[in-house]
């Protein structure tokens, strides 16, 4: 019977691994007296001790944002980490943080959305700010997200120019998800449109990981794209540098994500679409301090319930171009970036950019069409960027093939 029990346990543990990716250690942080006027609370999906990945990026953003404002993260930041996307557990974390005196609480994972909404009602004197979500109220609860697609477009230009240079029109993309989330779909679309601006003949092959992080398969998928589909540039929407390392090993090129991956793949990496989370966190914490204790003014102080920063705010960007980039990549990226920063042009519109090999940028009206042939935006039509946050971007653009 013992043996059978052991087998059942082994099985249960095996199965439980499908559900939870990470094992690590962590605990609620900090103690000590308050020294300044703002106490910050944070709820993380993974460990605050991570050295890479999503939680790491947010934790860095919060810590650096606090330092910018002269706040002391050692004394004024309270964290509950490794909180799964479960309403009761998120609410318990909120209780803990409120008990520790938090004035503003950040929840970084999409699945915290309902709990954050409920908590905002339970604690009207505390500010709640939810990353990647879409819910909010008019007083103490907002959401925040960035126009990563703009940075993706710029990385796409680097990939497109590289594909022109190598003469290989096949570009690969290791996707966390495809059309299941507007975030992932917009990442693929932004990148693909950037590639096509430089190389209209390019084709983007997407492999769907079905997971936000899965290191072993991130590598295997990239190898598959390189070997079977002949891809010469590999981009990705996943945390680890494995796709870039696979590109390096195969002697092809790649565009990373979330952090500059040139160190991981010095001969392959071109540039990465990156987030500067501290830009938002500093803005939000400043707004919280400006509210001077009245949490209900937060949304008004922030200028609206949804913060949606992009290249203009410096919230997203591309990492420094590596020496692997094709000639004139810097010139083209600078020009297009300027157009997006000053609001002249945006990615998901009825205006298409063309980038010549010498880096000059021209624009022309052209419809935005998905890969099933449906017209999304008529030629010359307005931007559908809202689809990225409202979730209506559930298509992949023409020239993208999911394999």
DSSP string of 6-42? HHHHHHHHHHHHHH------------S---SS--EEE
Beta strands 273-275 and 257-258, pairing class: parallel
Whole-number Å distance between alpha carbons of 26 and 46: 9
SS3 99: helix
Instruction: Kindly report the number of other CB atoms within 10 A of residue 372's CB atom.
Output: 8
Binding segment toward other proteins, per CB under 8 A, in 6-14, 188-196, 275-283, 391-399: 6-14
Q: Which of 43, 50, 150, 282 binds other proteins (CB under 8 A)?
A: 50
Residue selected from 249, 301, 328, 371 as contacting other proteins according to rule CB under 8 A: 249
Q: Who contacts 6 (Cβ-Cβ below 8 Å, separation ≥6)?
A: none
DSSP string, 375-392: EEE-TTPPP-THHHHHS-
CB neighbour list of residue 8: distance below 8 Å, 6 or more residues apart: none
The verdict on 207 binding other proteins (CB under 8 A) reads: yes
| Residue 394 engages other proteins in binding (rule: CB under 8 A) | no
31 sits near other proteins (criterion: CB under 8 A): no
Confirm or reject binding of residue 162 to other proteins (CB under 8 A).
Answer: no
Tell whether the torsion through CA atoms of 221, 222, 226 and 231 is positive or negative: positive
Give CA–CA dist 93/98, Å, rounded. 9
Q: Which of residues 300-319 bind other proteins (CB under 8 A)?
A: none
Q: Does 166 bind other proteins (CB under 8 A)?
A: no
Residue 219 binds to other proteins (criterion: CB under 8 A): yes
Residues 5 and 170: their CA atoms lie apart, in Å, by 51
How much helix, strand and coil, in percent to the nearest 5, is found in the chain?
Answer: 40, 20, 40
Q: Does 220 bind other proteins (CB under 8 A)?
A: yes
Interface with other proteins, residue 55, by CB under 8 A: yes
Give the residue with the Cβ less far from other proteins, 39 or 208.
208
Which range, of 156-164, 206-214, 313-321, 354-362, touches other proteins by CB under 8 A?
206-214
Q: Which is nearer to other proteins, 200 or 381 (CB)?
A: 200
| C-alpha dihedral (210, 215, 217, 222), degrees to nearest 10 | 100
Residue 240 interacts with other proteins (CB under 8 A): yes or no: yes
Min separation Cβ 44 and other proteins, Å: 11
For other proteins, the closer CB: 198 or 222: 222
With left for phi above 0 and alpha for psi between -120 and 50, is residue 69 left, alpha or beta? Answer: alpha
9 touches other proteins by CB under 8 A: yes
The smaller minimum CB distance to other proteins, of residues 72 and 215, is found at 215
Residues 159 and 179: their CA atoms lie apart, in Å, by 22
Q: Which of 228, 362, 374, 394 binds other proteins (CB under 8 A)?
A: 228
Task: By CB under 8 A, tell whether 323 contacts other proteins.
Answer: no
Cβ neighbours, 10 Å, residue 179: 18
Tell the smallest beta-carbon distance from residue 218 to other proteins (Å). Answer: 10
- Shortest spacing between CB 292 and other proteins, in angstroms: 38
- Segment interacting with other proteins (CB under 8 A) among 69-77, 86-94, 245-253, 384-392: 245-253
Determine which residue in the list 38, 39, 56, 156 makes contact with other proteins, applying CB under 8 A: 56
Is position 81 an interface residue for other proteins (rule: CB under 8 A)? no
Alpha-carbon distance values, 168 to 114, 119, 184, 208, 224 (Å): 46, 52, 25, 22, 16
Residues engaged in binding other proteins (CB under 8 A): 2-7, 9-11, 13-15, 17-18, 21-25, 46-47, 49-53, 55-56, 170, 207-211, 213-217, 219-221, 223-224, 227-230, 239-242, 245, 248-249, 263-264, 266, 403
């Amino acid at each position: 019977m013992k043996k059978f029990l052991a087998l059942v346990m082994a099985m249960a543990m095996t199965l439980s691994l499908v559900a939870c990716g990470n094992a690590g250690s962590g605990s609620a942080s900090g103690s000590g007296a308050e020294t300044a006027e703002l106490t910050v609370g944070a709820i993380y999906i993974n460990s605050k001790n991570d050295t890479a990945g999503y939680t790491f990026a947010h934790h860095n953003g919060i810590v650096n944002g606090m330092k910018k404002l002269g706040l002391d993260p050692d004394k004024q930041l309270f964290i509950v980490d490794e909180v799964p996307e479960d309403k009761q557990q998120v609410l318990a974390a909120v209780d803990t943080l409120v008990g520790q005196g938090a004035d503003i609480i950040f929840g970084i994972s999409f699945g915290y959305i309902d709990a954050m909404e409920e908590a905002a009602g339970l604690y009207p004197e505390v500010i709640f700010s939810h990353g990647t979500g879409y819910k909010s109220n008019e007083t103490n609860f907002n959401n925040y997200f960035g126009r990563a697609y703009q940075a993706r477009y710029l990385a796409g230009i680097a990939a497109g120019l590289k594909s022109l240079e190598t003469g290989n029109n096949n570009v690969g993309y290791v996707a966390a998800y495809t059309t299941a989330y507007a975030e992932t779909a917009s990442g693929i679309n932004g990148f693909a449109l950037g590639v096509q601006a430089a190389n209209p003949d390019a084709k983007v092959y997407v492999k769907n990981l079905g997971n936000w992080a899965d290191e072993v398969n991130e590598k295997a998928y990239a190898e598959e794209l390189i070997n079977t589909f002949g891809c010469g540039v590999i981009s990705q929407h996943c945390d680890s540098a494995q796709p870039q390392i696979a590109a390096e090993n195969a002697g092809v090129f790649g565009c990373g994500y979330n952090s500059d991956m040139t160190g991981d793949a010095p001969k392959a990496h071109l540039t990465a679409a990156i987030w500067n989370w501290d830009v938002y966190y500093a803005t939000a914490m400043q707004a919280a301090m400006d509210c001077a204790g009245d949490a209900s003014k937060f949304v008004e102080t922030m200028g609206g319930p949804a913060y949606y920063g992009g290249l203009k705010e410096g919230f997203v960007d591309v990492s420094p171009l590596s020496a692997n980039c094709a000639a004139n990549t810097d010139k083209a990226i600078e020009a297009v970036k300027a157009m997006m920063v000053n609001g002249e042009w945006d990615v998901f519109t009825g205006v298409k950019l063309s980038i010549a090999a010498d880096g000059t940028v021209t624009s022309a009206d052209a419809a935005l069409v998905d890969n099933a042939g449906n017209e999304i935006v008529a030629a010359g039509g307005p931007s559908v960027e809202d689809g990225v946050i409202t979730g209506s971007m559930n298509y992949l653009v023409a020239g993208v093939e999911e394999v």
